[in-house]
Amino acid sequence: MKPIHIVANDRIGLLADIAYLMAQARINIEGLCVQSCEGMAYLMLEVSDPIQASELLSSNHFDIVPEGQMSVHPRGLVRELAVVARGDGPQGRPGGDGS
């Protein structure tokens, strides 16, 4: 099964719109992973017919990202991970909880 990667502006009903299109085309969603960050939604769908699903979503103005080309880098996350890795959190310990 080949996954489809989608990037879209996050909004109420986004997932419902995608599911509706898939149902109308009789394409089964077999797996789903969604992450929202800074106003963007990043979706990975495993579907019964990835070629038809990609064409359907593209024709409905969804941005399909080629496999292996999507990565999510929230702005603050890299900085926060660097602080944890250096042990610069409160009390000088990773995570800053004193444990």
Per-residue pLDDT of 32-76, as tens digits, reads: 999 998 899 999 999 999 999 999 999 999 999 887 655 555 554
Q: What is the DSSP letter of 51?
A: H
Question: Same structural domain for residues 18 and 58?
Answer: yes
Based on the domain organization, do 54 and 87 belong to the same domain?
no
- Tell me the CATH number at 44: 3.30.2130.10
Task: Give the model confidence (pLDDT) of 7-36 as tens digits.
Answer: 999 999 999 999 999 999 999 999 999 999
Domain containing 97 equals 72-99
- Between CA 97 and CA 91 the distance in angstroms is 7
Strands of 3-9's sheet in order across: 29-37, 40-47, 3-9, 63-65
User: Which residue's structure tokens are 């359907």?
Assistant: 56
Query: How many domains, in total, are found in the chain?
Result: 2
